[in-house]
Each structure stands twice: as structure tokens, then as C-alpha cells.
Structure 1
Amino acid sequence: MKKISCLIVSLSILTLSTVSAQTKKATPIAKAFPSDIARPKLVIGLVVDQMRWDYLYRYYNRYTKGGFKRLINEGFSVENTFIPYTPTYTAVGHTTIYTGSVPAIHGIIGNDWYNSESKKNVYCTEDSSVVTVGSSPSSEGNMSPKNLLATTITDELRLATNFKGKVIGISLKDRGSILPAGHAANAAYWYQGSTGNWITSSYYMKEVPTWMADYNKLKLANKFYAKNWETLYPIDTYENSTADQKGYEGKTSTFPHQLTQNINKNFDAIRSTPYGNTITLDLAKLAILSEDLGADNITDFLAVSCSATDYVGHAYGPNSIEAEDTYLRLDKDFEEFFNYLDKKVGKGQYTIFLSADHGVAHVPAFMKENKIPAGIVSDRDIVFKLNGFLNNKFKVNNVVLKSMNNQIIFDHDKTDNGTVSFDVIKAASIEFLKRMDGFTNVIDISRIAQTTLPEVQKEMITNGYNARRSGDLYYILDPNWFNGASTGTTHGSWNPYDAHIPLVFMGWGIKPGASNKTHYMTDIAPTLAALLHIQMPNGCVGEPITEITNK
């Protein structure tokens, strides 16, 4: 093992101990590929959770030269990139980016779904066969990519290098780390809010490396709690946002947001502050240093998801000062991260792409405040009203089990054995739901080919439908209507505010520029496969974006 002298993190210089035996040896490795095949030393995937495409430009004049502006000006921006399925959720977006596939094939149809065979909800990365590593036993660590049915671009890199190239995933969220890292990853780390530790599971290793164990002892969240959350600039300069305090925001406090009460008590609170992104990128830098990522001629891959933007966005909405301040701070964090990559890996020696797993809707009350139609529905209300209607009409008792992921799930034990055919029940349910406020249309998913729908909606619903995991009916809500609470906001729809995402490539093999040609989230993985001269993932349906390359 070798000694690590120090790690520069965003707020101070922290002394580290030795690197684990898992770290690559410093001895140069002989070139593994023919001289006419070139690859970058390191690929970094940056997924900004809940980043709408327009955030690239909404705050552009306030960004530093080295963060988002550097990506746009030195890289290639694929301006019209869309999600090709619905519903648009975190687990699905991360999976689709890295598989180049869609839920119909890769199987991750939501953050969770209902398993009709076991009659239980399934969380996307749950795995009862593994245990927490890096902390005390907890369900927070019982996670793996077990439910993912296809390979990822990170899996394909492992296969292409005969498992010599390292793959590591990092995110506050388990699903934002595990699913991008794929099945064959060396490691995936996520944040445990109950302890402030970065943890993993026994799927990957028996114990965390020494560098991670030492890092966990720092309890870095406390350092940020001590600073509270104040605006980066004078609050009256936040002209792209609404007033500081709005009743429809999910949180009631105003700037400065007091955080000191969380020290050594509530490590989870950092998720809903911009500092959650800071500690994520600091850990990414530590992983690069400690695991020698990008240190030899065999390409490594670091998959990073910045999740704090999602927590802040859900609570306050896209027009809040909190959202603007979070992106201005993330911009500075990116500048530091890119500078670190330049120094540690070498400018021009790594390839980065930045994208998002989904966008977000405006807070409905904010829209109404500005005379724009919007509204909310409730899963519980949908089930209650639909069951009441069906009970009265057909004398079937509570035949609707769930409303989730914009889908209606029926109890098939009752529909298969009842006196009324399932087709009749579905047809009556469709007509009933269509009359509810906020509902645009309701579709029998098994008969979508015969349904009259705009082609974009039909294709997105079809791509999101997995025969073994999806529900029976799919409902489409009016624009800026969603399933949620009266405060804050969410995502999940087919609409552009949820489905139009940023996509920027920068670094090795990428020429500067931009394109307004329509591309899709599924095109990211095959583009990376073409760039790296490796096989695309085994469920891939996307196409390479040829405009980005120097060739």
C-alpha cells in the first residue's frame, strides 16, 4: 500500500491515511490496445438530478467561466435531447442514460413498482441477499443492481478491458450510484443519512477501503452545517427567482437557512442543501486520487450523480431563490472539479458528459399565481374514487389495488374470478377517470396500438411499459398537473419540462460546438461506446451522436 499525503476538498485540506489494497499499483501498465485504437484515460458521467435543459442558460450570466460555461464553450452541447419514455423518474433516468435502453427492456420502470406475483412494492435497487458495508446493519445498505435486466456502458467497459478498467459510482442516492455503475462495478457508494457515512453493500465488497473508512470519520456534513445556508450573492440580485418566502414552497424558512441545529444530530438534512452536491464531488475527487482512476492506459469510468438539486427542487420549485442559489453553487463546485481533473488526470486526457435524469414542473400554485393552468391529483384519492365507482356499478369489492407511476393496478385475483369481465371493468374505469379534473386521457396499456394518441405520447408510454412490472391502465394528466402535494413540486410526465434534458460532452475526442438536432437520452450510451470503440450495452436502442466527435 502507498501513502496518501493529502486531499484538497472544497472547504479545507484534510489529512488522509493509507489507501486500501484495492488501489491500482503505481507501476505503469503496458498499453493494452493496438496503437491505432485510442481511448481517454478516464470517463466521467455527471448526472444532475432534476436539471431541466433551460438551467444551462437561465443562470448563464451568473455562472463562472470554469463551470457550466466551460462545458458549453469547450464542449459540445446537444441542445434538443429528450427522454423517450414515461414516467420520468430518477431510477429510470439514470438507468436509461447508462444502458441506452428503455424501461420496456431494462426493467427499471420507476423508483419502485408493484410486483403482482409477490403482491408487494419493489424498490428499484432493493436486495435482501446483501448487507450494509461501511456502517452498522441497516436496510439503507441492502442494495444492488439485481433488478436491472440489461448491461450498462460501464459493464461493457469492464468487459472490453477484461475487467482491468475500474468503474465506480457515487451519489447521495443509492439508485443514483448503483444503476449507473452497473452489474460488474468495482464499487458503488451512497450516503447514509442516519450516520453521515458513505456506504456500500456486500454485493461489491466485504469492507470499505481504508480511505473511505477514514473519510467517514470526518463527518463532513458538520462542517457545512456550521456555516448555515446563506445566499452566495446578495439576495436582492436573484432576479431570476420569486420572492424568498412563498406559502407554496415545501419549506417555511427563509434565507439564511439555519443548519447548526443539525450538527451531530441530523446528517440527512444536508441532502436538501447545495452542500449535498459539494460533498458528493469532494468524494469523487477522493475516489480519483485513492483508486488511481485515469492513471494508466486502461480507461476507467467514474459515474457521479449530484442529487441535492432534486431535493432542493422538490421542496422549493424551479422558480425559487433556493434553486437558483443551488445551481450557482454547483457551478462553482464543477469549476473546482474540472480544475482537479485537469491537474490529476490531465486536460484532454478525460471525457466528461453532463446530463440529467429528468426535469421538473413548476409549482402549481406558482403557475396559478401567474394565471397559467396547473393542478394536482392524489394517488389515494384516485384509488378511493375509482373503487367507489366500480363497487357501485359492478358490486366488485376494492378491485383497484394501486395508483402509482401514473398507472392503475388492479387486483387480478378479483378481476380473473369475478362475474364481470376484466375488459368491461377496464373500459368503465377509463371512462370514469377521463371525467376527473386534470385527466387528459386514460389508456389500456395492453391495447395502446389501437389507441388514438399523439405519436410522441404513444411512443413514450410504450417505451415505459414492461409487461411483467407495469400496471394495467396509464393516465395522462393535463400540462403542469401532477400527482403530488399542495406544496413543492415533482416530475414524472411526458411533457417537455420533465423530458427535455441537458446533454453536454467535453474533453478527449470531443469537438466544441452545438446541435439543435433532436436526440434522445438513449443515445448517450451508444455514443460513448462508439467513442471508446467498445460494444454498446445489450439492451441498447439508441444511436451514436456523430456530431460531437473530432473524427
Structure 2
Amino acid sequence: MTRLVLLAALVLACRTPPRVPSPAKLAQPRLVVLIVVDQLPSWLFERDRSVFRGGFDRLLREGGYVRRGELPFANTFTAPGHATIGTGAVPRTHGIHGNLWWRRDQQRDRSAEWDPEAPILPIVDLDKPLPVDVGASARALRVTGIADALRSATQNRARTIAIGLKPRAACFLAGRQPELAVWFDAAAGGMTTSRAYTSTAPPWLVELAKTKPPSRFIGQTWTPLDPVYLARQTQIADDAPGEGGLHGMGVAFPHLVHDFEELLHTPFADELVLDTATAALDAMQLGTDEVPDLLAISLNAHDYAGHNWGPDSWEVLDLTMRLDTSLGAFFTLLDRKLGKDGWAAVLTSDHGATHVVDRSPVTGAKRFSPSEIAKEGGPMIAKVSSNQAYMTPAWAQLPPAQQQAARTAAANAIRKRYPEIDVFDTSDASHCKERSLAGEVCRGLVEGLSGELYLAPKRGFVITEYPTGTHHDAPNPDNQHVPILVRAPGLAPQMILSASILQVAPTVAALLGVPPPEAATEKPLFEIEPRSRARP
């Protein structure tokens, strides 16, 4: 009888899923660092987990890991991804539905961060003034983000800064109005900002441009750390099919940096961003008092390299290994300045990546030109931008019934020519709450701004004008699944299979001890609960 009881207990124990450890009480970090590695798909991160010895490894060892952070919307681009991470909302709510989109009133594309009322600030003395119509800000963002929530809860005493290589990353990652957003602008002379955040260039940024000018990387050569290891880990050649030599960099190592455009594709660009983050720690006195601060960092060189050579290339792996080392050094610096319990970090990505079509596991994978798609759709299509087909002003003047007939005709023409592309009528908003492709498309669109048709390539296919490399525009697991790592004082190491990218903003807010942004509806990850913090 005793044996039967023991056997029954053993069976029950085997059937009972293991409890995921959750923090009963976390220490209060004085600084929370939000890190985005641009274009880091789950499938690639899992492949390379054994490679990591630095920052990635530390986050995996010391905190929680979500293998599959799911993007619940179709338009997996940098600007929408960063805005979602920073607000906890989908594009339909926060308003950022592409890296750029067709402005009907101007009949031209404009970037998501475009704001002519927020001119870029020169960081060095210039020979000629900057263009007046290329300003940048988070003006297009319709809801508040993490920085806004933190500043509101602390009566603007908290310090908040977002730093990225791309302006669209820096402008949207922290919310509508962090204290400062900083990005690289070659014409401005380095890492700079706009008048949306300050009237004059911060002195510490000016000093950084003098002591560590981006021009120091021009003429340097990027050589691989270990060619033998890169070949073994990637299982492809350095000059594998489909890799691009855009911007004169060549398809194989070594890569000589001739100009700033080429710099963006190299590990030197990550160094530029992390140097700025390091300078910000002292210049803004981040984490030095009891008022919590936010440092948001976007590392975008990973995306540039992935587009050019492919996410599974030697270049991307070499860049990732170097970034792993650099993040490890940065975390050690935080230990020294703030103590190991003085800071927390959340790392994720804005989107994944599609395999290079020339070596894709999907049979028949292809690149489709958006301009050619527009032609196939007929004369009523003005432009295909960010996978959205915009109709012409002449179409807008038609009676409603004729508009719908023309829209349907264009959709059918595209479907007939491109059976590998699913075409959606964006006027149908009935699917937004569904867990379906139609639902993902609906959640990714913004009423009044999006095109009349949405184009969703099937898995393995991409819509791009580039003849080589890859993209991340198709709504499928390759592009919609990204890792999420959370390291916080007192958080036990643990792993869960899947969660939503919408949980990142509530998690960061919980670590800061403030309410989440206004449009965030999901719970924090790993059962981290918001804690009451006395208003400073």
C-alpha cells in the first residue's frame, strides 16, 4: 500500500508542471536600462546562445529569458517596433505604422520621425547649414511611453534619455518626450539631437564629438575575430549566395570603412552608441540618487549588417560576438558605478529577419520590387510604401462605390501576378481582436494614415528594392518572434517559452516603480509587480 501511495505521488509530481520562480520582493534599482538590438530574431539568437560569453550571457545567467517575444502585428519594421516596445501598444493605437509612409497631402514618402518644426542641431562647426525640412521628433506618436510615465510619477525629477544610431529608434523608444533623444547624423557632425528636446546642443555631446569623433572610424578595416569559428557556426561561406556589396563594402571580409554610410554597417557603429551611453551616465548623473532614471539604448548596426549580408552571415555573427563583449563591459561599468543591485536591464528586439532568399529554407523564395507591384496594381496606385499600397488623388475623388471597385480591382491584379503575397483591404477593421493574419494586419494599421491595401508576403518572400540581402517585412515567426531578457536585483534565473512584446513597457515601468504608459494593457513579465514608491 505504501508503495502504491509513493507511486501515485511520483506520477502526480511528474504531471505537475514545474513552478516558474517569481520574485517575492525585488530590490529597487536606481537605473533601468532598456536595450534594443535591431533585427535580432529568436531563431538566430537561439542558434548563437552557446557563443555568448559577455553581456548576453550575463543576462541569461542572472535573469529571466523569454525565448519567443511575439509581435502581435504585421508591419515588423524598426519604427513601429521601437514605438511598441516603448509604449506597450500596437501600431493601430500608437500611430507609427512604418519606417516611412506616403503623405497624401504631399504625394511623397516621409520618415516616421519627420518633423519640420524640430530641426536637427549641429554638434560641430559646419561649412554649410543643415537642411531646414529634415527635423526629427516623436511628434507622430499618439500615446505616452515609459519616459513620460516616469517623468509624470516623479514630477519631472527623473532623468530620461534614449540613444540610438537611427533617429527613428531614438525618437520612439522611450516615448513622446524623454528629457533627451540622441542619434547619429553625419551632416550634423556626430551623435546629436533636435529642438524637440533642447534648444542647443548639450555641452557633453559637443565634447564627445571632439574627444571621440565618428571620423576616427573612417579608414579603419573590419576584420573577423575568428574566420574558422565563423565558418563552423554559420555553416556557410563568407561570400555566400545573396550577400550584398552595397556602399562599396564588398561581400566578404575584410571591410574597409570609406565613409559614414559604410560605418553604419559595422561594429564601430555600436561602439559609437555605447560611447554615448557611457558619457550620458556621468553627464546626466544617471542612477546617482533615489529618484529612478531611464537609459534607453538602440543598437542598430545589427540591422544594417543583416540587410546587407543576411542575418545568418559571418558579418552579423562577428558583429554580435563583439556586441556581446561590449555589453559585458558596459554592465561591468554599471556594477562599478551603481553596484550590482543598483541597476536593472531589459533587452529585446524590434523585429526579426527573413532568411536571405538565395539560401532560404523556403523553396522558391523571392524578392519582389514595390515599384513593380505598384505597376501591376494599375494606374490607381500612387505608391507602395512600407508594404502598403496608396491610391491616387484621382481615386480619392471617385464616388464610394467606384472607389471600392477600383480598390478591389487593384487587389485582384496584385494577387494574380503575385500569388505569394496576401493582399488585404485596409478599410475592413473587423478583425483587429482576432489571433489571425487578418488581425495582425488590422493591429498594424493606422486609420487615416495607412494605405488602401496591405501586402503581406508569405514566409520566405520579401518586398524590397534591394537586389541582394534580406528584409523583415513579412508577418511570420521569422520576423515576429524576438528574445526578451530581464535582469533585475532579486529576480531568479528562469525561462519561459513565449510572451508578448507588449509586456516589455509594463515590465520596465514595474522595475522603475511607476504606473505603465497609458495605452499599455499587458502585465509585466515574470510576475514582476508594480511597487509603490514614495513620490520624491
TM-score after normalising by structure 1: 0.85
Q: 2:120 aligns with which of 111, 132, 135?
A: 132
Contact between 1:141 and 1:200, CA under 8 Å: does it hold in 2? no
Q: Which runs of 5+ in 2 are unaligned?
A: 1-24, 532-536
Q: After superposition, what is the alpha-carbon deviation per residue over 1:443-477, rounded to whole angstroms, capped at 9, x for unaligned?
A: 212225379x9842122111111111111112222
Q: Which stretches in structure 1 are left out of the alignment for 5+ residues?
A: 1-35, 388-397
**Residues 303-312 or 268-277, more deviating:** 268-277
Pair 1:542 & 2:531 matched: no
Quote the offset at 1:406 in angstroms. 1.9
Partner of 1:40: 29
2: CA distance between counterparts of 1:172 and 1:228?
20
Between stretches 454-463 and 290-299, larger displacement belongs to 454-463
The change in CA–CA distance for 1:179 and 1:351 in structure 2 (over 3 A counts) is same
Residue in 1 that maps onto 2:255 = 257
Structure 1 residue 400: Cα displacement: 1.1
Partner of 1:9: none
Q: Aligned equivalents of 1:343 and 1:436: distance in 2? A: 60
Mapping for residues 364-375 of structure 1, pairs under 5 Å: 364-367=357-360, 372-375=363-366
Q: Is the 8 A contact 1:101 1:542 kept in 2?
A: no
Q: Which moved more, 1:370-379 or 1:308-317?
A: 370-379
C-alpha displacement at 1:58, in angstroms?
1.8
Q: How does 1:8-407 map to 2 (within 5 A)?
A: 39-64=28-53, 66-135=54-123, 136=126, 137-139=129-131, 142-194=135-187, 196-235=189-228, 237-241=230-234, 242-251=236-245, 252-259=250-257, 262=258, 266-367=259-360, 372-387=363-378, 398-407=379-388
- Displacement after TM superposition at 1:165 (Å): 0.3
Contact 1:104 1:463 in 2 (8 A): yes
Q: Distance in 1 between matches of 2:447 and 2:36?
A: 28
Match of 1:499 among 460, 477, 480: 480
- Secondary structure in 2 aligned to 1:179? helix
**Structure 2 contact 27–341 (Cα < 8 Å) conserved:** no
3-state SS of paired residue (1:59): helix
2-side partners of 1:514 and 1:268: how far apart? 38
Q: Determine whether 1:524 maps to 2:504.
A: yes
Say yes or no: does 1:467 pair with 2:442: no
Query: Sequence identity of aligned pairs in percent?
Result: 30
**CA deviation profile, 1:345-381 (whole Å, cap 9, x unmatched):** 21111110000011111111122xx673311111110
State the alpha-carbon separation in 1 of the partners of residues 228 and 256 from structure 2: 16
CA distance in 2, matches of 1:357, 1:119: 28
Q: Tell me the number of residue pairs that the alignment of Structure 1 and Structure 2 aligns.
A: 496
Verify the 8 A CA contact 2:44 2:311 in the aligned structure 1.
no
CA–CA distance in 2 between the matches of 1:535 and 1:116?
37
SS in 1 for 2:325: helix
The match for 1:27 is none
Distance 1:422 1:366 in 2: 41
Equivalent pair of 2:34/2:508 in contact (CA under 8 Å): no
Aligned to 1:508: 489
**Segment drifting more, 329-338 vs 476-485:** 476-485
| Cα pair distance change 1:237/1:326, threshold 3 Å | closer
One-letter identity of the residue aligned with 1:138: L
1:206 Cα deviation after fit: 2.2
Deviation at 1:491, TM superposition (A): 0.8
Structure 1 segments, 4+ long, off by >4 Å, are 548-551
Matched, 1:441 2:422: yes
CA contact (8 A) 1:40 1:351 kept: yes
- Is the contact between residue 448 and residue 458 of structure 1 (CA under 8 Å) also seen in structure 2? no
Cα separation, partners in 2 of 1:199 and 1:371, compared to 1, 3 Å:
closer
Q: Distance in 1 between matches of 2:86 and 2:92?
A: 15
Per the normalisation by structure 2, the TM-score is: 0.87
Query: 8 Å contact 1:294–1:345 — kept in the other structure?
Result: yes
Q: Corresponding residue for 1:5? A: none
The answer to whether the Cα contact below 8 Å between 1:46 and 1:352 also exists between their aligned partners in 2 is yes
Q: CA shift at 1:130, angstroms?
A: 2.1
**Kept in 2: contact 1:76–1:548 (CA 8 A):** no
The equivalent residue for 2:534 is none
In 2, Cα distance between the equivalents of 1:299 and 1:429? 53
For structure 1, which segment, 326-335 or 184-193, has the greater mean C-alpha deviation from structure 2 after superposition?
Answer: 184-193
Give the CA deviation at 1:154.
Answer: 1.2
Answer yes or no: is the 8 Å Cα contact 1:509–1:549 preserved in 2: no
Contact 1:438 1:478 in 2 (8 A): no
- Give, in whole Å, the separation in 2 of the partners of 1:211 and 1:219: 12
User: Deviations along 1:19-66, whole A, 9 cap, x unmatched?
Assistant: xxxxxxxxxxxxxxxxx99732001010000011233332222221x3
Q: What SS is found at the alignment partner of 1:526?
A: helix
Judged with a 3 Å threshold, the aligned counterparts in structure 2 of structure 1 residues 70 and 550 are, in CA distance, closer, same or farther, namely farther
Deviation at 1:150, TM superposition (A): 0.6
Q: Equivalents in 1 of 2:209, 2:61: separation in Å?
A: 36
Q: Shift of the alpha carbon at 1:416?
A: 3.4
